């Protein structure tokens, strides 16, 4: 793997405060975890939707070595042009401040210069909280990632997963692939402070190259992966508009969905307990707490009319008390698109399920027109939730203008929306049409999009390599899975 060879070169020249980061006489552990391209499901994962994800070729790499010094050194080397980032702290600081979820959030988030380290160092917190492993020796950790940041392809999840797999190997902790993903989701939620669902970490941990990974996010049930049908291909085109899971649009859209769920529970007289201001617990024996389990027919005939199209946070809190989501808060001064955000996971579950069934049905190209229509419907639903952007809308339109005659069938915004990358479905022979979309977009906007074209396996399939340098040559001495 070419990027693996490049990472070995990065390891060889990595330095901290002007001196080599690693001791060549000591063993190293190396891991690799890819980003992901969200094909269907995306924004509904926290409401229990089925999602369909493809691990991309771009990946994050982490190398870890034990140290005799009682300190931890974290180094992030930029894959492209950009500054390297470094953070050093004592082992005692880590043990007293950084090995609980709340402590780690304060420790790594204390200022902007250290916030990046939460994605890597948070894996140490996960080992302590989820596996009862507390480091008793120093560590040197190197991060190098080819997953572009801010493009909505889960650069953060790739880092978290790669870090956890490498550090677990150092401490001889066996990882379950789904359990590892859930631990990394907690890093993102509780250390970094981003209210993401689990699909990103699941794909980075469990994905298989050139397959779509179906995940039922209730909370994290893997279905068997399946190959993209012969004759079809998927691309990701970057809009150039920075995507952030912690951004206001994502936060508001997610909160609005939980507001709608609370109103539905009230409409159906589900027992509810107020836990704290703005927070409730609902006994839901009908849908298991997930909007994705609401039958669309019942939603349309009985429940949709109870949902306001828009509602202020203050009005909601006064009438309904709070929501069940522990990662978002209803802001009194904000206005929320309650009906659209609640509708999205109900119907996205149906769209994603039909997309999976048609792709697995063996018809391939014969199903492409309907598959494209499902993607366009998903994009329209994002737009109704307020999660589109001018750039992603234009890319979807450009793909539609190329159309089936050029071999392109549909496109949609991905992940949490509000910018980032658009997924495109077309014939495998339609590269020229994709290039025309990219050129037109670049001419109109001045931004030359990055195009995601390949796929690679997740961290579990890659395993963790143990070895050391013999002079300038890396020698593998073992591999864990």
Indicate which residues carry an active-site annotation: 200
Q: Report yes or no: 242 and 419 within 8 Å, Cβ to Cβ.
A: yes
- Cα 97 to the chain's mean position, in Å? 27
**Residue partners of 438: CB distance under 8 A and separation at least 6:** 237, 448, 449, 451
Distance CA 157, CA 416 (A): 14
Distance CA 151, CA 153 (A): 6
- The dihedral built from the CA positions of residue 364, 370, 373 and 379, taken in this order, carries a sign that is negative
**Residue partners of 354: CB distance under 8 A and separation at least 6:** 370, 374
Cα-flanking dihedrals φ and ψ of residue 74, to 5°? -115, 130
Q: Report yes or no: 7 and 28 within 8 Å, Cβ to Cβ.
A: no
- Cα 362 to the chain's mean position, in Å? 29
Question: How many Cα atoms are found within 13 Å in the side-chain-facing hemisphere of 251?
Answer: 16
What would the two tokens of residue 186 be?
């907690």
Distance CA 241, CA 200 (A): 19
**Residue partners of 376: CB distance under 8 A and separation at least 6:** 396, 400, 410, 411, 412
- The dihedral built from the CA positions of residue 209, 165, 120 and 466, taken in this order, carries a sign that is negative
Terminal C-alpha separation, the chain: 18
Closest residue by Cα to residue 416 from 44, 8, 36, 34: 44
């Amino acid at each position: 793997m070419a990027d693996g060879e490049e990472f070995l070169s990065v390891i060889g020249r990595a330095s901290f405060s002007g001196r080599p980061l690693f001791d060549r006489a000591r063993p190293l552990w190396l891991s690799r975890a890819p980003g992901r391209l969200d094909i269907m499901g995306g924004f509904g994962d926290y409401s229990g939707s089925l999602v369909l994800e493809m691990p991309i070729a771009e990946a994050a790499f982490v190398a870890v070595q034990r140290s005799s010094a009682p300190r931890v050194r974290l180094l992030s080397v930029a894959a492209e042009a950009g500054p390297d980032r470094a953070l050093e702290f004592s082992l005692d600081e880590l043990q007293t401040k950084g090995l609980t979820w709340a402590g780690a959030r304060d420790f790594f988030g204390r200022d902007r210069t250290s916030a990046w380290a939460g994605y890597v160092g948070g894996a140490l917190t996960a080992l302590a909280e989820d596996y009862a492993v507390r480091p008793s020796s120093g560590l040197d950790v190197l991060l190098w990632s080819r997953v572009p940041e801010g493009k909505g392809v889960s650069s953060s999840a790739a880092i978290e997963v790669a870090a956890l797999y490498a550090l677990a190997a150092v401490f001889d902790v066996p990882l379950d692939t789904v359990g590892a993903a859930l631990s990394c989701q907690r890093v993102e939620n509780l250390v970094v402070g981003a209210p993401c669902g689990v699909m990103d970490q699941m794909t980075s941990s469990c994905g298989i190259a050139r397959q779509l990974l179906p995940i039922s996010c209730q909370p994290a049930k893997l279905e068997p992966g399946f190959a993209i049908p012969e004759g079809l291909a998927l691309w990701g085109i970057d809009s150039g508009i920075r995507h952030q899971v912690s951004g206001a649009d994502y936060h508001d859209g997610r909160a609005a969905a939980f507001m709608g769920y609370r109103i539905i529970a009230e409409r159906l007289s589900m027992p509810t307990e107020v836990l704290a201001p703005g927070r409730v617990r609902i006994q839901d024996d009908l849908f298991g707490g997930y909007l994705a389990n609401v039958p669309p027919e019942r939603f349309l005939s009985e429940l949709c009319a109870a949902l306001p199209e828009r509602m202020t946070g203050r009005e909601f809190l006064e009438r309904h008390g709070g929501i069940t989501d522990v990662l978002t808060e209803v802001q009194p001064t904000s206005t929320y698109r309650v009906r659209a955000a609640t509708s999205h996971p109900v119907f996205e579950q149906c769209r994603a399920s039909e997309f999976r069934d048609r792709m697995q049905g063996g018809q391939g190209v014969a199903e492409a027109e309907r598959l494209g229509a499902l993607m366009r419907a998903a994009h329209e639903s994002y737009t109704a939730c307020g999660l589109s952007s001018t750039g992603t809308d234009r890319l979807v339109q450009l793909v539609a203008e190329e159309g089936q005659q050029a071999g392109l069938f549909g496109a949609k915004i991905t992940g949490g929306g509000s910018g980032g990358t658009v997924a495109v479905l077309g014939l495998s022979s339609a590269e020229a049409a994709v290039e025309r979309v990219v050129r037109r977009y670049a001419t109109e906007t001045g931004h030359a999009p990055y195009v995601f074209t390949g796929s690679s396996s997740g961290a579990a399939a890659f395993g963790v390599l143990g070895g050391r340098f013999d002079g300038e040559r890396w020698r593998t001495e073992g591999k864990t899975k």
